Structure 1
Amino acid sequence: MSTTGTSHRLGRVVVVTGASGGVGRATVRAFAARGDKVALLARGREGLAAAADEVERAGGEALVVGVDVSDAKAVDDAAQQVVDTFGHIDVWVNNAFTGVFAPFTEVAPDEFRRVTEVTYLGYVFGTRAALRHMLPRDRGTIVQVGSALAYRGIPLQSAYCGAKHAIQGFNESLRCELLHARSGVRTTMVQLPGLNTPQFDWVLNRMPGRARPVAPVYQPEVAARAIVHASSHARRREYWVGGSTAATLLANAVIPGLLDRYLARTNVDAQQEEGRPEGPANLWSPADGPHGRDFGAHGRFDDESTDDSPQQWLSRNRGWMGAALTAGAAALAARKLAAPARR
């Protein structure tokens, strides 16, 4: 039995976009371990096949749907295939993305458009497809996988940061509309830190060195746990994952100008390491296609990555933690008030 809350029901139908690698790959495994039926949406055949096998071995039921999320009709058709197979959709996780590591002036207009179409409009199309099936049932949860970069832009990732900012605004607007309609459909967003995923070997890179995540680096399973938790606790508008995400977003809210200067000074070097960029770029076609390679969930940063996030635990349990702190403060105040009477 699940211990994550009464809103969880075993055997839910879950759709995950970008399911073939990285965070999506870790997330489908996490849902499968709960006995869920998982529809895997992505482009890469090798990654999808391997992910489906992992879902089945973890105890879930897999449905593979090859789709480019920038194609609205293809996403609608994929959602219909899920409903035709499993009967309905309980959870839709928008996660697919692509990007370019380069100064803005070195990103061609068609490349910028492509990143926007996949990383932003892919979420819009996925959300629309999910709502088409959830609204008539008046239930369901949409999880938007975001990033600290949804609030705080950094150098060398202008297209990706722009798309994540757009998702943030879009999701807030949609959330307000659902609340106004008193809908039973929920939407929430999960803001992620730097993660050890294969993206740094398949995103188009025009930097001098090999792309890498900004430290500290977390394993994709940290993100997957947060996404699964959010899917069962979607009344909360968003979740921050990792101490670095919390620190960045708080600093951006208080001292954004100073943060501009800090990131300008540090983050160009922090996003690359020695070595030449290598590997296929997945901007226009799946990275595993011509190479027959399954990239899996993890990147090449296992040695420096952590699978633990105390901040995430505190975030998930902030309700009873707040109550405990309030009770403790009340008890301390009562002791102080009572102290003079004992003298």
Structure 2
Amino acid sequence: MNLKSIDQQVVVVVGASSGIGRDTALRFAKKGAKVVVSARSKEGLATLVEEISAMGGTAIAVPADVADFEQVKAIAEKTVEHFGRLDTWVHLAATSVFATFDNVTPEEFRRVIDVTLMGQVYGAMVALPHLKREGRGALIHITSLEGRRSLPYQSAYSAAKHGSIGFIDAMRLELKNEGYPISVTNIMPGVINTPFYNKGKTKLGVKPTGVPPYYSASLVTDAILYAAEHPVRDYIVSDVGRILDIAQRISPGLVDLLLLAIAFPFQKTDEPKSEDDPNNLYEPIQGYDKVNGDFDQLEIPSITDMLDKGPALAIGAFAVAALGVAALLGGLGDR
């Protein structure tokens, strides 16, 4: 499967106004790609296009709510209308409600599914015809480790990520069976320091947080840029993500014990926040047109992601992850 070099690509980044999406758009533009950025926040997209233009890059913005198929379709159509083709589609848009399952309304649960799962579905549906016409290209879906292991307080988000991985796997096989040289990549980040936790709706009484440690958004961006040029099936970002994935495969029950101990207290900050405070469940909110969230002090490096950039790719990553799993399971055995 032969993918174009990034400087020859037209790239769509959906969910680009902040966080990983914003960093991804900036990095693609810096490497010479023509970039189309999309999100609900017109203000966020405007500042992003200005930033790309200031560095000498080329970008246009197409505001869209990914829960609406016609709006997602318009992203692809305007890309081809403006640049003549589409080479890589990167889909990151997501939202969440932080609450116990029995405290989430049907409407809220459905909205998370519509944005976080159906948005991914719509993105693939509108991008594939253009990629097939080009005869090659890449679909890059940013899901989450929560597609492999659900977390409390995030039932709707975890369900959406599980569903995304399910349709991605089926679609990839169908494309292979039909002989289309289109790369389909599922990138599963661990806990990343972005404004995601600032923007989601919370019913916990406080601002939510991820279970630390946090990792830099640039690690996910590195994986995205790599997948745009090299066919990759699945990619878990972060040491803890890889360790947790292996542990889940070995013993889900032991992972339950771990999460009972840490996932409930460590997903709450001490900062009061009401469910009526501004959130992005139904509408975009302003003030978060940036890459990083509020947890820079909790970021740590990822050893396995460093190894992935060198020749010891699989062996090194597996060895470190395996050692971590051994330590994790050993500690749980002492409970």
TM-score (norm 2): 0.89
- Give the drift of 1:7: 4.7
Picking from 80, 93, 106, the partner of 2:90 is 93
SS of residue paired to 1:89: coil
Picking from 252, 255, 258, the partner of 1:259 is 255
SS of residue paired to 2:8: coil
Unaligned runs of 5+ in 2: 319-335
Is the radius of gyration larger for structure 1 or structure 2?
Answer: 1
- Report the equivalent of 1:341: none
User: What aligned pairs does 1:270-285 form with structure 2 within 5 A after superposition?
Assistant: 270-277=266-273, 280-285=278-283
SS of residue paired to 1:15: strand
Deviation track 1:57-93 (CA, whole Å, cap 9, x = no partner) reads: 3332111001001111111112100100011111000
Q: Distance in 1 between matches of 2:262 and 2:120?
A: 31
SS of residue paired to 1:210: strand
Task: Find out whether 1:314 has 2:300 as its counterpart.
Answer: no
- Report the equivalent of 1:138: 135
SS of residue paired to 2:245: helix
CA RMSD for the aligned pairs?
A: 1.9
- Give the drift of 1:320: 6.2
Q: Distance in 2 between matches of 1:192 and 1:9?
A: 22
- Give the drift of 1:319: 6.3
Kindly, what percent of the aligned residue pairs are identical? 34
- Report the equivalent of 1:296: 290
Q: Distance in 1 between matches of 2:147 and 2:21?
A: 18
- Give the drift of 1:224: 1.1
Task: Find out whether 1:245 has 2:238 as its counterpart.
Answer: no
Q: Which letter maps to 1:295?
A: D
Q: Which letter maps to 1:115?
A: V
Unaligned runs of 5+ in 1: 326-343
SS of residue paired to 1:10: helix
SS of residue paired to 2:186: strand
Picking from 32, 54, 73, the partner of 1:35 is 32
Q: Which letter maps to 1:260?
A: D
* Range 218-227 or range 83-92, more displaced: 218-227
Q: Which letter maps to 1:267?
A: A
Instruction: Quickly say closer, same or farther: Cα 1:76–1:219, change in 2 above 3 A.
Output: same
Q: Which letter maps to 2:69?
A: A
SS of residue paired to 2:62: strand
Instruction: Quickly say closer, same or farther: Cα 1:52–1:296, change in 2 above 3 A.
Output: same
Picking from 216, 220, 235, the partner of 1:223 is 220
Please say if residues 205 and 211 of structure 1, whose CA atoms lie closer than 8 Å, have aligned partners that are also in contact.
yes
Picking from 185, 189, 192, the partner of 2:186 is 189
Q: Which letter maps to 1:43?
A: R
Q: Which letter maps to 1:246?
A: R
- Report the equivalent of 1:337: none
Q: Which letter maps to 1:73?
A: E
Q: Which letter maps to 1:287?
A: I
- Report the equivalent of 2:71: 74
SS of residue paired to 1:40: strand
- Report the equivalent of 1:333: none
- Give the drift of 1:6: 7.8
- Give the drift of 1:178: 0.9
TM-score (norm 1): 0.87
Q: Which letter maps to 2:278?
A: P
Deviation track 1:169-228 (CA, whole Å, cap 9, x = no partner) reads: 110001100111111111111110111111111100011322112111012112111111
